[in-house]
Amino acid sequence: MEKKGDIAVIGLAVMGQNLILNMNDHGYTVVAFNRTVSKVDDFLNNAAKGTSVIGAHSIDEMVGLLKTPRKIMLMVKAGEAVDAEIEKLLPHLSPGDCIIDGGNSYFTDTIRRAKYLEDKGFFFIGSGVSGGEEGARNGPSIMPGGSIKAWPLIKDIFTAISAKTPSGEACCDWVGSDGAGHYVKMAHNAIEYGDIQIICEAYHLMKQGLGLSPDQMHEIFAEWNKTELDSYLIEITRDILGFKDEDGLPLVEKILDTAGQKGTGKWFSINSLDLGIPVTLIAESVYARSLSALKEERMNASGVFNGPAKLFKGDVKAIVEDIRKALLASKIISYTQGFMCLREAAKEYDWNLDFGNIALLWRGGCIIRSAFLENIKNAYRKNPGLTNLLLDDYFKKIVTDCEASWRRTLMTAIELGVPMPSFSSALAFFDGYRCDRLPANLLQAMRDYFGAHTYQRIDAPLNKVFHTNWTGRGGNVSSGTYSV
Ligand code: NBP
């Protein structure tokens, strides 16, 4: 009898192919299909040669080759391609079959698709898969959410192929209903934007402000990787700074200084504005990429404004240690803001998110994997109701220890004219968050002055609002109250 597949994967680009090979390594029989059908045979004759992967040349054939209930994973470009594939699949499916979208779909699309398919009697799972090509092949971080009843159908496969933490826990667990998995993946990618940007800012200050060479910074990042900063991104920065082009010169200095983006950092920043949560470091990281893309304008402006154009004169070893501590403190702020947004999203979209578990999912396999996430996991495991990561004893102590270095780093950068938007926004958030009286009293007064928007008083109950006729010319009628 013909062998039946445990799962099908549609989409044979880099992620799909590597996930299939990973599933095959773990003893699962996978049916492979792709819109451009010739890629099926290319795959079978090359990367999948000698494996038990079965090729399908039509959706009909693919569905017939699967054990029931069928599990079909889409690894196609996010957006219209996902809807197109779902529509092609529907006439071939039976109630109880499950479609899994493993791409980077926007979470509201996943909410819509989950409802659409559940209403038709099918299951739908929207799953974040992180770790790029290497992760997909050897163990990604997997963040599934959607139809909870379908979780037992895929739990064994997903857990088997996922990354494992140093203590052997799987970096894969159920996140929540409808779009929760894709939301958590979006948060992961956005935090990745922040982590990358603050590393770039530290590099920029050391290079432009301190005049250090890539070789010197290679050594510095190697040392930093032995501290609390121990992470995949610090590790690859160390390696990139030590990498030489064919002529023996550092390759990094020959790379154009403009950055692109695929949108997840922007999505998260926009969503944070909708939720009213200040994820300022990540938003600055998105803007930093936008500024980098204005290369021609920057080239022009660099000829108009010289800036301080001077080098640091002082104890280089001491300021490098300050930069390390400022990087660590900024990173804590970034994760603090990210988890604040996750908490608010859980309330807004009615998800029961386990923050310790989310930190665990990111502990291995994905781009932001780090020792640091173990401490976040511990903080939430110790106190699941923790209102803010900054208030956990471990993080509170680090930020307090780093504070003076953080301020010295930014004062140095400002004096030398080196832009550090994400470090600066992190410190501004910290100073704002720990401030018991912000200047929003003046803001309330101004809004009442020009628009009769009313204000509250510190010496009256909060539900009581006041309006003042500030100029003697306005009336005593106030505007309706609203919040944004
Ligand atoms: P791509 O995002 O480059 O997508 C290529 C695949 O999508 C091909 O199989 C292509 O089929 C298929 N496709 C396209 Br394009 N339009 C289609 C349509 N209208 N209908 C059906 N299929 C269509 O592949 P990838 O880089 O492997 O990523 C797959 C998913 O995983 C994406 O959502 C991506 O954002 C996400 N992801 C990627 C990474 C990464 O590092 N690359 C990491 C994590 C997540 P064709 O061969 O016929 O053109």
**CA dihedral angle for residue 291, residue 297, residue 300, residue 305, rounded to 10 degrees:** -40
Q: Residue 132 CA: which ligand 1 atom is closest?
A: 41
Indicate the pLDDT class of residue 182, thresholds 50, 70 and 90. very high
How many other CB atoms are there within 10 angstroms of residue 232's CB atom? 17
Q: What is the CA radius of gyration of the chain?
A: 26
Prediction pTM value: 0.95
Quote the tokens at residue 438: 């912000």
Give me the pLDDT at residue 479, please: 75
Residue written as tokens 């071939």? 92
Taking residues 188-195, what's their average pLDDT?
96
Count of alpha carbons within 13 angstroms of residue 481, beta-carbon side? 9
Task: List, for residues 425-484, the tens digit of each pLDDT value.
Answer: 999 999 999 999 999 999 999 999 999 999 999 999 999 999 999 998 877 777 765 554
Query: Is 60 exceeded by the pLDDT of residue 137?
Result: yes
pLDDT band at residue 52 using 50, 70 and 90 as cut-offs = very high
Tokens found for residue 64? 């017939």
Residue nearest to atom 15 of ligand 1 (CA): 77
Question: What is the CA(77)–ligand 1 centre distance, in A?
Answer: 3
**Within 13 A of 110's CA, how many CA atoms are on the CB side?**
32
- Looking at the DSSP assignment, which residues form a beta bridge with residue 33? 10
Locate 106 and state its tokens.
């926007």
Residue with CA at minimum distance from ligand 1 atom 9: 11
Residues with CB under 6 A from ligand 1: 11-16, 34-36, 39, 75-78, 80-81, 84-85, 103-104, 129-130, 132-133
- Average predicted confidence (pLDDT) for the chain: 96
Q: Cα(171) to centroid of ligand 1, in Å?
A: 23
**Nearest protein CA to atom 1 of ligand 1, as residue:** 77
Give dist(CA 330, CA 282) in Å, integer.
Answer: 11
Q: What tokens does 399 get?
A: 């930020």
* pLDDT > 50? residue 166: yes
Residue 74 has pLDDT above 50, yes or no: yes
- Average of per-residue pLDDT across 46-52: 97
Q: Give the pLDDT confidence score for residue 380 in this predicted structure.
A: 96
Q: How far apart are CA 56 and CA 50, in angstroms?
A: 16
Spatial distance between the Cα atoms of 112 and 150, rounded to a whole number of angstroms = 17
- Read off the amino acid at residue 6: D
**Closest residue to atom 43 of ligand 1, CA basis:** 132
Question: Which residues are the active-site residues?
Answer: 185, 192
Integer Cα distance of 186 and 466 in angstroms: 41
Closest CA to 10 of 49, 79, 65, 62: 62
Length in residues, the chain: 484
**What tokens were used for 269?**
């920043």
For helices 393-416 and 372-382, the axis angle rounded to 10 degrees is 140
| pLDDT for residue 261 | 78
